[in-house]
Structure 1
Amino acid sequence: MKRLLSRWNPNSIVVKLIGAFLLVMLPLSALSISITYYSSNRMQAEVERANESKLHFYYSHLGFELQRMTGMVTEYSLDEVLSAFSTRIPIMSRYEVDLSLNNIYTKLKQIKETSPYISDVVYYVPQINKRVSTSSGIRDVTSDEWQNLLNTMGNLNGALSKYKNELYLLRSNPYNLDSNVPPNFLLGLKLSSAELESRLKEFAVSGGSDITLAFGDGNGYVLSSSEKTPEWLPKEKPHPVEEAVSIQRDRDQDSIYYSLYDHSNNFRLTASIPNAVLMKPIRIYSLLLRLLTVVSIGIVALFSFWTYRTIHRPMSILIRGFRKAEQGQTGISITHSRRDEFGYLYSRFNEMLKHLHTLIEENYVQRIRTGEAELKHLQSQITPHFLYNSLFSIKQMAEVENVELIKEFSDYLGQYFRYMTRDSAREVTLQQEVEHAMVYLAIQQIRFGPRIHAEVEELEPEWRAIQLPRVLLQPMIENVFEHGLKQKSSNGLLQISYELTEQMLSIKIEDNGDTMDEDKLNLLKRQLAVQEWNQGEITGLLNVNQRIRIKFGSRYGLVVERSPLGGLCVRVNIPVRGAGHKCSE
């Protein structure tokens, strides 16, 4: 049915009928689809706003915690106990130092318990190279450790610092712009990356998205709810606006992205929400839309099938009948039992073909007989003039007493005339015709000696069984020797090759002769195109062309062109369909 529909004429009644039906159906379907899309887009917008609200909530929570911890580390950097210890160390005994360090350790543990985001609190005293940590206790340190930590203060361009792939809130007492001057003490809150990632994953699960937290310019420190950091992550710092938070939105084929940037704390919160999650609440609309589409397509298909059965199929039968009649099949008839308008058309068509068949049959037999007589006449013209040249060559070899060459030449000549006089076979295979042409080529090479060199491509096995009239290739080779290479005193070249295009095989015979100028070539093209009969010097080419056209039709025959070798290129075009089967006449 699809093949038949592809042949419909845009101006046919069937196409116009279906077109009118579609003009009614399409606006209704388009209106339904528009309503569905409008509803789904509204719901999708609500879902996007809900996810954006969740992201804002997490941002507020994180911002609050950061502000609280920042204020706390600032407050304790001015604490009397911490400050007094670092300044009174020179006048304190060893016992008083140890007691003060233990009290500071207790105070640091209290600080750590104030927020789940604090994984450790550290207190460095450069004067005695001591470090107090809630996770590792009190121990001695080198100056490099506290100095390296001090050097990272503010390296994320905000309150947070990055040291050994961990986040710190650092404060020194007293605050000094010169990092080479040791402070009295250095206080730091080490943030828990595991807790931050855990909270990110909680919000990601509730929102059905991946959330990424990035600190510093260029995303110097990144935490994500997924194992892999998303590729879409802005690195440029947005221009500040009146609000402390600026929002960026972006969308690609798979997801929608929200990015919130906190200018005061210099961190970015990014959520990537898959379109599948956004579309989940509106799947019912998508299902209804698909159902509407399927029903509409079904109605159109049923109507088209009814139109096909009622109008198109009987009309196609009639059209195929006319096409067969155009191809000459006048013996056909349309069998039917219809009593409608198509039944009347079928009956008139059958009567018309009966009368036409009678008229054609009266002329057909006469045409076939005439064609066969002309074929035999044309075929008989190929051999006579070759006999004189062969006998003259034998005479020349006899004069020089070249017995071996006479023997070889006579053997080739016997094969040649045995093939030419085999009247019982009007058709031969391409393999036989090529072998005969090679025998003729061998005879000519003996005549012309080293002046002529031949290059012959091997015939493919699948082409060897092609059926064609006898003696088609030999006249082409004869034309090369008599008109193309006859004047060559040396370096004469003859090439025979094959080329397959669609269902046509081209046998190419080329030479490097210099006797065929453009005027002669154009004249030969015109003679072959109009099938002129000429008894001049190129009768052999016209003979073969006429015989091929009588046998296979006007599509086939000879085509001449300028060869890349410089001489003439003759293409013998024959149908490939004859392989393994005898061509009908």
Structure 2
Amino acid sequence: MPSLLRRWFSPRLNIQGKIFIAFGLVTLLSIVSVTSIIYVNMRETIKKNAVTSVSDSIRQADESLNIMLQEIDRLNTVVVTSKTSVLDTLLSPHDQVSYEGFQEQKRTEEFLSGLIAYKPYITRIAVVGLNGKVIFSGGPWLDRRFLETDMMAYMLSNGARHAYFKPPGEADVITVGREIRYNRETIGVVMVDMNYDFIKKTFGVRPTKDSLLYVLDAQNEFVYRTEAAPAASAPSVETINGMNRKYAGLTHSVEHELDGKWYIVVRHQSDYTGWTTLALVPMDSLLSESTRIRNLMVEVSVIVFLVILMGSLQMSFRTTVNIRRLKSMMMQVKEGNLSFPRTEIKSKDEIGDLYRVFASMVEELKRLMAGIRVSERKKREAELTALQAQIRPHFLYNSLNTIKYLAKLNGVPNIEEVSGSLIELMRAVLGNSNEFLTVREELEYVSSYVAVVKYKYMEPLRITTRVEGDALLECRVPKLMLQPLVENAIIHGIGRSEREGVVSIRVYGELNDLIVEVEDNGEGMTREQVAVLLQPADREASSRFSGMGVRNVHERIVRMYGEPYGVRLHSEPGRYTKAVVRFPKLLANGSENDDKEVI
């Protein structure tokens, strides 16, 4: 493992490390992205569900309360419209302590008891007359001292209907009152007390244990508030009223900071009672479950990431093992070892294809190296042969010079001439390594050749040369281009004739070309003979000196300059044979027509 880490974190990171790091980064980014998105969406979903749940619960609580209040309103209506059981008792002149008054009171109490029977959410129903008569059913006890309370005054001043939550210290009830009128005059009130336990059950909407819920009436007095909230940490009445005014008209939830703690505030206002319900749900308590899930997701993500890292390590190792093998083989080749033991890579992917190409390349390289070794051996042999061949011309030159010197001493000019001409001709063939010669040098070599061969023939052999312009003598032509043509004229033309042989050489210019004509007065040739003469060089009779014929001359010129340059033959049987050679005009100093393309 340490060596593996050193390879990964070296300045030159290998491909396995790159694959591992890339795969790890992609996996890490994917896991972080997915978990972050899931966590954020989960938080938003929890808050949305909490708001929906609280809103629905508040709405249902309000509807339940409205149903009870509507029932109480109907009871109040029955009371204020009951003439026999209520109105007559209140209007009766009999005192309650009298027998008649006692009977009337008993009748009214029975009537009130019948109204609230089987209604557990009602603790008391009472009729209080302004004349001091107080009749009630249920508890607690009520007497005429109630006429002097603020609640009685408030009911009389507000008229038709009022719901009132009694202050702490008194019975926890909600009182719903209504005036009793007769002949357009107020003669008393009827009051119904609701059991506060039903209110607490109705508004017991608590998504979390520390959630807060407040119900305020039209006078911004508490109708209900969460009792579980400690008094020290519960918001004051002024704070709740301020929030109620701030978020008046709120149709959705809002986040609010209160004493350094964030809450989700949900507000609802009843259309029937006008009461406002404010629900405060703490963010930290609401999202505590999401925090636990987040921590669980982090733990799972870490475990998954580690497992994937181990898997990617194995995958990168298996992916690059063949690359490392191939690299090892290449390093062997780099060091010059072509016979190293090879591990065959049988995979069908690109690495396998690369191995097979590399193996074939190594085999080809071994074959080429073997060929190079053979070539080097042959080259050394050729160098030795060339060294030996260099000795032979010098020995031959020295021998010919000796013959020439002896011929001169003995007064034999023809032998002296042949020896000297042969020396010059051999120097042209063997000693001059230049590819191009001037026309002047070519004509000199032709003269040397004629001086050697003219003694073969009984009849005289005459060579005439005409150069139309001294500048043409300095034009460059390929080496030994004229000698094979003159040789062909002498051997195939004049050699078979019994008359004096004449070979005419004419050199002239034509636009940007150089023309050399070699004409003899020999037997001439037919078209078939001309065609045979232009056959490849191996079919032509070899020259003793040059080894090149007319066809060789033509092919050399065409290869060097292309068409239309080369050799053209014109002949008539029994009259003449003319060879016309066309070159580009190239001066020896390169000042004229040096831009001719040579191919």
TM interval, shorter chain, is 0.3 to 0.5
Q: Which has the larger radius of gyration?
A: 2
* TM-score, with length taken from structure 1: 0.39
Please, what TM-score do these two structures have when normalized by structure 2? 0.39
